[in-house]
Amino acid sequence: MEITTEMIKELRAATSAGVLDCRKALEHANGDYQKAVDQLREKGLATAAKRADREASQGMIELYSHGNGRVGVMVEVNCETDFVARSEQFRTLAHEVALQIAAAAPQYVKVEDIPTDVLEHEAEIARARARDEGKPENIFERIVVGRLEKFKDEVVLLRQAYIRDEQVTIEQVLLQNIAAIGENIVIRRFQRWELGESTVAM
């Protein structure tokens, strides 16, 4: 199948991969767009994983106000160099992360940030619900695990579905940017304020 410039452009827009990588992925996938996207994402994730232990102490603090000042977000996103910190792609990523926080109201950056007592409390709620719903006792723990995973998907920023594309998580968006930019990038911390609500300190 002939690989057209249009196909390469479309794939680049979706994955931020280089022109040659997009061409190769499309050739390998015999023109199948979705297979090419998956292949590039996997490659990007593998590349990004190798960079995860590199120090990221540069970056920026993005401030975002939403709904005529009803919601405010401050997020620190780090990278390795000042050069990348000033780049448009990095700044766009920081802004997208702030939008995600404003819209989806996560409470933690990563799963490891959730206090043990919060997880235990959620597990107790799940167990009580399973009991109230009359579920067999021998499957309680399976139900608890499932509900805890769902809870993490809702409150952990990196596990949330991206507001612009629910097929990918924020972690995948982050890894795609790491692969495209070529530096380790870390969402360090954030704070979200909503008018009239108490806040959870990060």
Does residue 75 lie in a domain region?
A: yes
Q: What is the pLDDT of residues 4-60, one digit of tens each?
A: 888 888 877 776 677 888 888 889 898 888 888 887 777 765 555 556 666 777 999
For helices 5-15 and 19-28, what crossing angle results, to 10°? Answer: 110
Domain co-membership, 102 together with 139: no
Domain co-membership, 160 together with 189: yes
Does residue 201 lie in a domain region?
A: no
**Residue 7, token pair as written in the block:** 């196909």
Mean pLDDT of all residues in 169-187:
90
Q: Which residue has the higher pLDDT, 18 or 130?
A: 130
What is the gyration radius of the CA atoms in the chain, in angstroms?
20
What is each CA distance from 8 to 14, 21, 95, 117, 129, in whole angstroms?
Answer: 10, 9, 26, 49, 50
For residue 23, which of 39, 35, 34, 7 has the smallest C-alpha distance? 7
pTM for the full predicted model: 0.70
Domain co-membership, 106 together with 160: yes
User: What pLDDT, on the 0 to 100 scale, is given for residue 117?
Assistant: 94
Domain co-membership, 71 together with 104: yes
Q: What is the pLDDT of residues 132-159, one digit of tens each?
A: 888 887 887 888 899 999 999 999 999 9
Q: Which domain holds residue 122?
A: 115-152
Number of separate domains in the chain = 3
User: What pLDDT, on the 0 to 100 scale, is given for residue 7?
Assistant: 87
Domain co-membership, 43 together with 72: no
